[in-house]
Chains A and B, each alone.
Chain A
Amino acid sequence: MENRSESLKTERNEAWRSDLRKNIKAKDRTSLIRAKMNEVDANVRIKSYVEVNSGLTVEQAQQEAARCIDCANPTCINGCPVEINIPKFVKRIEQGEFLEAARVLKETSTLPAVCGRVCPQEKQCEANCFYTQKLKKEPVAIGYLERFAADYERESGQMSVPETATSNNIKIGVIGSGPAGLTFAGEMAKKGYSITVFEALHEIGGVLKYGIPEFRLPNDIVDVEIDNLRKMGVQFETNFVVGKTVSFDDLKEEGYKAFFAGSGAGLPRFMGIPGENYIGIQSSNEYLTRINLMHAAEQDTDTPVVSGKNVMVIGGGNTAMDSVRTAKRLGADRAMIVYRRGMDEMPARKEEIHHAIEEGVEFITLANPIEYFADEKGRVNKVKIQKMELGEPDASGRRRPVAIEGSEYLIEVSTVVVSVGVSPNPLIPDSLPELTTTKWGTIEVNEDTLQSSINTVFAGGDIVRGGATVILAMGDGRRAAQSMDNFLKKNEQ
C-alpha cells in the first residue's frame, strides 16, 4: 500500500501534471457540468441492435476530463476493483494525449473498452469520487472517459500490443474464456508463459459474447481484445470442455504445469413454481444465447427463438434488463419486468434501468410470479402474480420481500424469461474430486492468492464469487496470474 501511494504521488508531481493542474482553477473545474453520453434515440434504437451509447466526442471528453481536480488523495481509485490510476488517465485525456490515456488504463485493466461500457461505475469509482463524496455533485464521468480512451485507441489503428517477456516454455491451461480467463491469459503471456485457453463454446468471450447484447457491448470490441491476446501468443481452443473432452490428468501429461479455472457461473436457476416448464418459458441464458451467440434474430441463421408480443422477464439484474430490452427489439408490444423488490433495490446498472424505461419497458415491482398457465398445446399464456411488500432487512442488507396473501392476479403473456440468478458451473469441480468447493458449489480459494485446494489449480471470477461482475472477474485474473507466477518460481528453486 505504501508503495502505491508513494508512486501515485511521484507521478502526480511530474511536470506535465502539475502544469495541467495550474491551467484551470479548481473552482472553475468544479463548476463545469458533467458530460451527457450521446445516445441513439429510444424509438430508433429499439428497431435494431445498434449500440445505444455512441460515446463522447473529443471536445466532450476533454471538457469532462477537465472537471477532475487531480486530487492529492484520489479516493476514486479505492472504488476500482483493479485500482486503475484514474487521475493519471483522466489527465492524459485533458492533455489530449489519448493514446497515452489508453496505455495507463492497460497498465491495470485488460479490457478497458469493455469495462467502460459494463462496469457499475455508480457503485465503484464514481461513488468514491471527490465530487460525489465531498461536493455532493455528479461525479466525474470516469466510465465514459475510460470508454473514450479505449475506443480512441482502437479506432486509431495504433493499438499497442503489450510486450511479452521471452518465452519460458512453461505451459499453462486456462479454463473458460470469459473476462477472468482472458485477463489471466494476457497477464501470464506478458510474463512469458505459454498459454492455451480452452473454451467449451464455439466462440471466445464467455458472458461477454453469449450474454451481454450487442446494443450494450458490440462483439467487435471483444474480438479486438481477443486478437490482441492472439498477437501476444495466446492460443485458443474452442469446442473444448475441460474435464470432458480431456481430463486434467491428460492435460498434465501433455505438459501443462498449472491451471486457472475461470469457468463462470453459467447455470440458470429456475424458481420451481408450477408450470415453469411450459413452452415459451425460458431462462435468460437460453433467450440471450439464442440471440447473441446463435444470432437467432437474423434471417439467415438456423437457430430459432420464440419471443411473442407479451414478454415478461422475471428479475431485476443486468441479465433481466438485457433480456427485456432484447424482447423489445424482437417486436414485443408489451415488455415487462417483474421484480419482487422495489425500483431502488434493483441490482442492475442504473444506466440500463434508465435506458429500459426510455425504451418503453414496463416495470411491475413488488411482485412475484407463483404459477404459470398454458393453452392446450402447452404454450404459456398466463402468469399468476402475487404482490409483495418489503419487510426486515435480510443478510444482504436489503429489505426482504414478503408476500401479501390474497393479492394474486393474472397477467397475459406469450413468452416468459426467467432471470433469477445463476449457479456455479459444476463441470470443473465434478471432474476434480479433490477440489474443495463451498456449499454453494463455488471453488474455494485462498483469498489473497486465489489458489485452490489443489496447489496447481487457481481460480477466479464467477466460479469463485457466484454471479458477480466483469471487473471483479478481471481483477481475479490479474491477481491469480501474479500469485501463480510467484508460486511456480518458488517451486522451481
Chain B
Amino acid sequence: MYKIIEKTFFSENVVKFEIEAPRIAKARRAGHFVIVKIGKKGERFPLTIAGADRVKGTITLVVQKVGVSSRKLTALNVGDHITDLVGPLGQATHIDNKGTVLACGGGVGVAPLLPIVEAYKKAGNRVVTVIAARNKDLIILEDQIREYSDKLVIMTDDGSYGQKGLITDGMEQIIKDEDIAEAMIIGPAVMMKFASLTTKKHNIPTLASLNTIMVDGTGMCGACRITVAGKTKFVCVDGPEFNAHDVDFDEMLLRLGGYKEIEKEAETDYLKQCE
C-alpha cells in the first residue's frame, strides 16, 4: 500500500506524486485531504488530495519543499512506499452550479485548487481563475487549471510570467468584468487574508480552504483550531473550508508561527545531514 507510482517535478521545489491508495481514491471528493507520515519517526502532516484515478486506484499529491517532512517526502522515488497515509479527511467542498465562480490559488495552493476548479466546471459553472506566485518557476499546474477554466489570469510578484502584481490585483480585474456569484481562495495565509478582504469589499460570498498545523487530522487534538465568526473550530473536521469573511486570519497567522523557530532549526539540521 501507498506505493509511489509516478513522480514529476513541476519545478525544483514542487513535486507531484501519484500514490497507490485505492480506497482513498474511491472515497475522496474535491476538498478532502490526507495525513502523511514518512518513516517511523516522521511527523504527521496534511496534504490536500489534488486528484485521483479510481480505476488505477491512485491519488495525486502536490508537495512543495518547505520543511523537514516535505523534504523527506520529495526525496522519495517511484517504487518507494509512504509509511503512513490516512484519509480522505475533512468535509468535501459543497459544489453547486452558481453561475460564474472565481477561483484563486496562490503558490502551492494551486494544487488543492485544481480538483475544486474541475468540480466547479463539471457542475456547469463559468469558472474564472487567478493563479499567482512569486515568480515564473513557482507557477504550477497551469495547463491542468486552464483545462477547466473559462478564463485564466496569471500573476507573478516580479512579472517574470503573466502579469506583474499580486493575486488581489488579478482578482480586482476579474471582478470588474464579471458578475461573480462565489469565490474560492486557497494559498498561504497572508494571501488568503488579503484575497478575502478583496472579495469582502465587493460583497462576494467567499470560501477559504485553510491549511493549519495538524497532528491527527481526526478532531482529537485541537492543534488545527482557529476562530471563525468568534467560535473555535477544528480545521481538520469542521473544515478545511470556511466562510472566508468570518475567519480570523490574524490569529491563524500567529498560530502558524507557533513552531517556526523549532521547524527552522530542524530543517537546517536536516539539510546538513543530507549534505
Contact = CB atoms under 8 A, between A and B. Distances in A.
A283 interface: yes
B266 A294 contact: no
A110 interface: no
B254 A304 contact: no
Given A294-B43, A294-B215, A239 B259 contact: no
B259 A304 contact: yes
Interface stretch (B12-20, B83-91, B137-145): B83-91
A304 B262 contact: yes
A279 B263 contact: no
Interface stretch (A15-23, A223-231, A266-274, A457-465): A266-274
Contact of A267 (B27, B43, B219, B251): B219
B232 A277 contact: yes
A279 B215 contact: no
Contact of B254 (A210, A290, A377, A427): A377
Per DSSP, are chain B's interface residues mostly helix, strand or loop, or mixed?
mixed
A295 B227 contact: no
Interface in B55-91: 68-69, 72, 83-89
A344 interface: no
A277 B69 contact: no
Contacts of B24: 245
A201 B259 CA distance: 23
A306 interface: yes
A268 B221 CA distance: 6
A379 B44 CA distance: 23
B222 A286 contact: yes
A387 to B, nearest CB: 26
B124 interface: no
A282 B214 CA distance: 12
A426 B219 contact: yes
B99 interface: no
Given A201-B216, A279-B257, A279-B258, A295 B41 contact: yes
B223 to A, nearest CB: 5
Interface in B245-259: 251, 254-255, 257-259
B41 A289 contact: no
A308 to B, nearest CB: 12
Interface in B215-240: 215-216, 218-223, 225-227, 232, 237
B255 A280 contact: no
A194 interface: no
Contacts, number: 118
A128 interface: no
A16 B69 CA distance: 61
B23 interface: yes
Given A285-B222, A294-B43, A270 B232 contact: yes
Contacts of A279: 254-255, 257-258
A245 B88 contact: yes
Contacts of A40: none
Contact of B86 (A200, A266, A294, A298): A200
B89 A241 contact: yes
Interface string A218-250: 000000000000000000001111001111000
B262 A268 contact: no
Given A241-B89, A283-B222, A425-B219, 19 more contacts: A200-B216, A201-B218, A202-B84, A239-B84, A245-B24, A247-B27, A270-B232, A277-B232, A277-B251, A286-B222, A289-B216, A289-B220, A294-B43, A301-B41, A302-B42, A302-B72, A378-B251, A378-B254, A426-B219
Interface of A: 200-202, 210, 238-241, 244-247, 266-268, 270, 272, 276-280, 282-283, 285-286, 289-290, 294-295, 298, 300-304, 306, 377-379, 425-427
